[in-house]
Amino acid sequence: MPHLSPLHPHRTLTFFLGLSVGVEVLTANGAAQSITGKTQAKQDLGKALLKAALVLQLAVMGILLGVAGTYHRRAARAGILTKHAGKADIKNVLITLYCSCGLITIRTIYRTVEYFAAAALHPPYTADESISPLIRYEWFFWVFESMLMIVNSALLNWRHPGKYLPKRNNIFLRPDGTERVGEEFKDKRPFLLVLFDPLDLLGLVLRTDKKWWLDENLPTPAEAEARKAEEQREAGAKESSSTRS
């Protein structure tokens, strides 16, 4: 249902992938500076980068849930969540997404609070220095880090989104509710352009970003299979005729 997406379907993956890469770059630089920094100023800079990365992780999760929630609301208003449950069970996909995001968000909140508390400590520690229970007691780590990720892995194995979606990612629902076969949802732009412009703002300005899923002449899955079979027969006939000659 690309017509209901708040973001262009071709750009959704690259957009969130770009945000995740940015978070990982901040995390890597922050960890390196906080550990290997030769001066206190560089170590403090590393800690600040790590704090920023953790907060950005929460922001990215908020954006993802906002996009998913908007899509969910539009699909519910269109009645697609119930009408087409047998073909593409979007409701179950969204439930899995919400549960997984909830587990990851709880874990990220724990990691953020824990690191902010750890960054406030200045070794050598004194007996009078207040150390957060999140750092002192290991069970917090086992509950809010390890167990949550084990549950999340089990959830994705039990309710993998692939169970509820078409096997081919170029099959989609048009606004009238009919299934059509179009282009695969891949960003075909050059890698550097995808990296620096994940939302294809240049395409919006130049009006080169086409919404091909609105084309009424796109075939249904049955018609696409028939065309493919016909093309294979024609190719086989040409090959046999060339072999005879």
Residue 209 CA to residue 190 CA, distance in Å, equals 14
Task: Flag whether 20 is in a domain.
Answer: yes
The pLDDT assigned to 241 comes to: 67
Looking at residue 142, its pLDDT comes to 94
Range of the domain at 52: 2-171
Residue 221 included in any domain: no
Helix (H/G/I), strand (E/B), else coil: 70? helix
Six token digits for residue 13: 């993956």
Count CB-CB contacts under 10 A for residue 243.
7
In a domain, 75, yes or no: yes
Q: Contact, 178 vs 220, CB < 8 A?
A: yes
User: What pLDDT is attached to residue 242?
Assistant: 66
Tell me: the pLDDT tens digits for 37-71?
A: 888 888 889 999 999 999 999 999 999 999 999 98
Residuewise pLDDT in 10s, the chain (245 residues): 777 888 777 778 778 888 888 899 999 999 999 888 888 888 889 999 999 999 999 999 999 999 999 989 988 887 777 655 445 578 888 899 999 999 999 999 999 999 998 888 776 666 556 788 888 889 999 999 999 999 999 999 998 888 877 777 777 777 776 777 776 666 667 767 666 676 666 666 666 666 766 777 777 777 777 777 777 777 777 776 666 65
**In this predicted structure, what is the pLDDT of residue 86?**
46
**What is the per-residue pLDDT for 189?**
72
Residue 203 lies in a domain: no
Terminus-to-terminus CA distance in the chain, angstroms?
Answer: 49
What pLDDT was estimated at residue 63? 93
Whether 108 is covered by a domain: the verdict is yes
DSSP 49-91: HHHHHHHHHHHHHHHHHHHHHHHHHHHHHHTHHHHTTTT--HH
Burial class (CB in 10 A: 0-12, 13-18, 19+), 200: buried
Helix (H) or strand (E) holding 91: helix 90-119
Task: Say what angle helices 9-36 and 40-78 make with each other, to 10 degrees.
Answer: 160
CA pseudo-torsion sign 214, 216, 219, 221: positive
Q: How far apart are CA 49 and CA 44, in angstroms?
A: 9
- Cα separations in angstroms, 167 against 161, 162, 179: 11, 7, 13
Please indicate, yes or no, if residue 190 is contained in any of the structural domains: no
Considering its fold, how many domains does the chain have in total? 1
Cα separation of 9 and 169, whole Å? 11
Q: Can you give the pLDDT at residue 103?
A: 95
* pLDDT at residue 144 in the model: 93
Is 187 within a domain?
no
Q: Is residue 44 part of a domain?
A: yes
